């Protein structure tokens, strides 16, 4: 059976995103499987997995905002900016909630961020962590980010518990590092859980074990989110006759006003693909049927 759509997978710690993809390939018995942005092996949480024709929307799903629950250790610095790295500096540190809240207010206004050296971002064709492993120093450029919200949940024993919503490409490790600097100490990320990605929530996710059981029961389809529900976009509906034309590459003249991309083209209840307007005419941009 060919599966098409998106799985909301709860990635456990200790697995790479590629490991999860391989497990899903075995569960579904199909090769066309891909994830929508990596999670580090030590990070758990929502990892959207695209199946079949669902892989054609993976780039759109990657662009979405992410929500995290995060623990930040104050007074601790490692080379990776998380607790799994080599300890570089450590000190006893105490502060109060008001100072933390003030620092978070400042942090929320940040529009750029310097990624950690231990990351997969490329510089001159090589990933940053490749330079780090060889102790090669390079200049890391800051990237544009957006912190939509960052909220203090608790503070105890020099550990800050945070809830944050951030844009694509924002590193929570770097946020913890920056938070430490704002508090005149060091900041290192501890436990991290991604609780939402592009509207897919952890409360609706499935473990790999649950998906294996569903597959054994021939109920895996019940877990797969249809493309149009996983990625909600505006749409244009056309007739069955026009659908045959547009699928054959013919441009359609419609009374409908052009709408902003991306958008779906439907014929009756069938999703045909992504559309675009050229000189006021409707054209199929990417076929999904």
Instruction: Quote the percentage of the chain above a pLDDT of 90.
Output: 76
Is 30 a residue whose pLDDT tops 90?
Answer: yes
- As a whole number of Å, the CA-based R_g of the chain is 22
User: Region 4-11: what's the mean pLDDT?
Assistant: 96
Tokens of 49: 């997995």
| DSSP-derived secondary structure for 239-265 | -HHHHHHHHTT--B--SSPP-PSS-EE
| DSSP-derived secondary structure for 31-66 | S-EEESS---TT-EEEEEEEEGGGGGGHHHHHTS-E
Catalytic residue check, 40: yes
| Alpha carbon 180 to chain centroid, angstroms | 25
* 187-197 vs 76-78, strand pairing mode: unpaired
Predicted model pTM: 0.89
Tokens of 270: 């069938």
| pLDDT computed for residue 214 by the predictor | 95
* Domains defined for the chain, CATH in brackets: 5-64+199-229 (3.30.2350.10), 69-189 (3.30.2350.10), 233-287 (2.30.130.60)
Give 34's pLDDT tier (boundaries 50, 70, 90): very high
Q: Which long-range contacts (CB under 8 A, 24 or more apart) does 246-252 make?
A: 246/272, 246/282, 246/283, 246/284, 247/272, 247/284, 247/287, 247/289, 249/284, 251/278, 251/281, 251/282, 251/283, 252/281, 252/282, 252/283
| DSSP-derived secondary structure for the chain | ----EEEEEEEPTT--HHHHHHHHHHHHT-S-EEESS---TT-EEEEEEEEGGGGGGHHHHHTS-EEEEEEEEETEEETTSBTTS-EEEE------HHHHHHHHHHHHT--EEPPPSSS--EETTEEHHHHHHTT---PPPPEE--EEEEEEEEEETTEEEEEEEE-TT--HHHHHHHHHHHTTS-EEEEEEEEEEETTEEGGG-B-HHHHHHHHHTT-GGGGPBPHHHHS---EEEE-HHHHHHHHTT--B--SSPP-PSS-EEEETTEEEEEEEEETTEEEEEEE--
Rounded mean pLDDT of the chain?
91
Task: Write out pLDDT tens, residues 183-207.
Answer: 999 999 999 999 999 889 999 999 9
Residues 6+ away with beta carbon under 8 Å from 200: 6, 8, 46, 48, 225, 230
| pLDDT computed for residue 125 by the predictor | 67
| pLDDT computed for residue 126 by the predictor | 67
Q: Between residues 130 and 21, which one has the greater pLDDT? A: 21
Among 19, 40, 204, 242, the one annotated catalytic: 40
User: Region 235-259: what's the mean pLDDT?
Assistant: 90
Per the listing, tokens 């497990």 go with: 23
């Amino acid at each position: 059976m060919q599966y098409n759509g998106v799985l909301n997978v709860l990635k456990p710690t200790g697995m790479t995103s590629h490991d999860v993809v391989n497990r899903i390939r075995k569960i579904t018995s199909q090769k066309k499987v891909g994830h929508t942005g990596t999670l580090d092996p030590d990070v758990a949480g929502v990892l959207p997995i695209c199946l079949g024709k669902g892989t054609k929307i993976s780039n759109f799903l990657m662009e979405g905002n992410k929500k995290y629950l995060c623990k930040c250790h104050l007074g601790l610095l490692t080379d990776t900016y998380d607790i799994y790295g080599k300890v570089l500096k450590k000190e006893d540190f105490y502060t109060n909630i008001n100072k933390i809240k003030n620092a978070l207010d400042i942090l929320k206004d940040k529009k750029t961020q310097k990624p950690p050296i231990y990351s997969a971002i490329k510089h001159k064709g090589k990933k940053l962590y490749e330079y780090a492993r060889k102790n090669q120093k390079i200049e890391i450029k800051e990237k544009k980010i957006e912190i939509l919200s960052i909220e203090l949940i608790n503070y105890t024993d020099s550990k800050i518990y945070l809830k944050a919503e951030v844009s694509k490409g924002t590193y929570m490790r770097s946020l913890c590092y920056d938070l430490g600097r704002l508090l005149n100490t060091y900041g290192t990320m501890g436990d991290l859980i991604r609780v939402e990605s592009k509207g897919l929530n952890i409360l609706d996710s499935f473990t790999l074990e649950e998906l294996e059981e569903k597959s054994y029961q021939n109920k895996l389809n019940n877990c797969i989110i249809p493309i149009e529900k996983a990625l909600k976009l505006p749409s244009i509906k056309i007739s069955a006759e026009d659908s045959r034309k547009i699928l054959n590459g013919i441009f359609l003249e419609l009374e409908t006003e052009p709408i902003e991309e991306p958008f779906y083209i439907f014929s009756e209840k069938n999703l045909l693909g992504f559309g675009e307007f050229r000189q006021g005419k409707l054209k199929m941009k990417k076929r999904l049927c």
